[in-house]
Structure 1
Amino acid sequence: MRQNPSFAMTDVSELRRLIDQNPWVTLVSGTDDGLVASHYAVLLDEGRDDLTIVGHVGRPDDIVHGLGRRELLVVVQGPHGYISPGWYGDTQSVPTWNFVAAHLTGVPELLSTEENLAVLDRLVARFESRMPQPRLMWQPPNDRSFIEKLEKGTVGFRLTPTRVVAKRKLSQNRSPEVVETIIAELSGDGPYADPQLAAEMRRAHDAIAAARAALEAADAGPTR
């Protein structure tokens, strides 16, 4: 992903939020037979406060990816959507696409059976928690033999990225008036309405405005 300093996303807390809210990721590896990609859910490692993630692949994807033996690229895709040139007003313009994404690269560590079971348990609990009657992994009718058989068909991993490229392209190069128009269009009921993207834009631009105000206050110095 080509980086643009104006759109760079570097705040670890924001990156953790991106991963937490968008756990369905793409795993990409370069192999002797070319590029391979798979799709799995991941979680932040609950024992760390960095960008370390944990997850699993189903066998034989571990062999296909050379899991634990070569670099793995994890693509995290956040909110994204079409931006019409008509939202810019009466000026020369073309369509674009706003998005938030992160690429995490590193050589994953393979998990032990016990660690993998814990991760699988967390994954089920994470997504079942929203159900009115959650069915947790160890809950009947599941029994230990069923769960252990399930685990043997997976390979758990932990990835602490050694390279991170993250981009938040949310109309930072547009005037505040245009940004407000775009947010209003995304929040409406038009064909490209996307409340999640609108909320992400609002969050980003509120942070930019707050940082600018703090900088101006610092430059002004103390009043007498």
Structure 2
Amino acid sequence: MNAHPVYKPATPADVDRMVAAHPFALVISANAGVPIATPLPLLMERDGDGAITLLGHMPRVHPHTDLLRAQPRALAVFTGAHGYISPSWLSDRTQAPTWNYETVQFDIEVEFDDSDAATELALNRLVDHMEQGRPQAWSVADMGARYAKLAPHVVAFRARVVDAYAKFKLGQNERPGDWAEILAGLERTRQQALLDAMQRASPSP
């Protein structure tokens, strides 16, 4: 995963954590030079060799589904914690504003599986992931007979990750004084997700 060294995630586990916490991605394709994009949740799987697969589902009848069947190469973009960094938080008023963020981009090759079993697996895996830890967690089985009516409208797929790019721009190159003031500004403005991300990426030992 290539990125400027200072903004590179420390370990593959950092990427896994971000994608698991922010699974809503944008899948982007091009058809004769015309872009098409579909937002959808994706689950990431990493095998023992580090190879990455994305599991998801799309509407069975949809122009992007048709395009991916014919042209399976696409880009999946995940955005994690992010936010505006205001110079108003800093003692040094000459500093410029910036935007801190986590992003992971996967160059993927999509393969659909039209079987009922694949759809059931994809839906159950996603629901279990999103419901984990919730009081009175919901499951697909709770749909009862409605499941048989709705499930045929989607199709499951796995996407093999061909290449990956991750950039966590989280103030790693800030001066210590500025760093502390930025964290204080995020806390005052209740941007907890970005505050947590920056603290994880802290350049301090």
TM range (shorter): 0.7 to 0.9
Give the structure with the higher percent strand: 2
Query: 1:47 deviation in Å?
Result: 6.5
Q: Which residue of 2 aligns with 1:184?
A: 184
Q: Which residue of 1 aligns with 2:42?
A: 42
Task: Using the TM superposition, name which of 43-52 and 112-121 deviates more.
Answer: 43-52
Q: Which residue of 1 aligns with 2:166?
A: 166
Query: 1:10 deviation in Å?
Result: 6.2
Residues in 1 aligned to 2:159 and 2:126: alpha-carbon distance in whole angstroms:
16
Query: 1:71 deviation in Å?
Result: 1.1
State the SS of the aligned residue for 2:42. Answer: strand
Larger radius of gyration: 1
Q: Which residue of 2 aligns with 1:194?
A: 191
**Does 1 or 2 have the higher relative contact order (CA < 8 Å, sep 6+)?**
2
Asked if the contact 2:43–2:55 (Cα under 8 Å) also holds between the matched residues in 1, the reply is yes
State the SS of the aligned residue for 1:118. Answer: helix
Q: Does 1:114 align with 2:111?
A: no
Q: TM-score scaled by structure 2?
A: 0.86
Q: 1:10 to 1:34 in 2, by over 3 A?
A: farther
Query: 1:130 deviation in Å?
Result: 4.7
Q: TM-score scaled by structure 1?
A: 0.79
Query: 1:4 deviation in Å?
Result: 3.0
Query: 1:202 deviation in Å?
Result: 0.4
Q: Which residue of 1 aligns with 2:76?
A: 74
Aligned length: 201
Query: 1:93 deviation in Å?
Result: 1.8
State the SS of the aligned residue for 1:52. Answer: strand
Q: Name structure 1 gaps, 5 residues minimum.
A: 211-224
Residues in 1 aligned to 2:107 and 2:69: alpha-carbon distance in whole angstroms:
13
Structure 1 vs Structure 2 CA RMSD: 2.4
Q: Which residue of 2 aligns with 1:51?
A: 52
State the SS of the aligned residue for 2:140. Answer: coil
State the SS of the aligned residue for 2:72. Answer: coil
Of all paired residues, the percent bearing the same amino acid is 26
Q: 1:46 to 1:163 in 2, by over 3 A?
A: closer
Query: Which residue identity is paired with 2:85?
Result: I
Q: Name structure 2 gaps, 5 residues minimum.
A: none
Query: 1:53 deviation in Å?
Result: 1.5
Asked if the contact 1:68–1:110 (Cα under 8 Å) also holds between the matched residues in 2, the reply is no
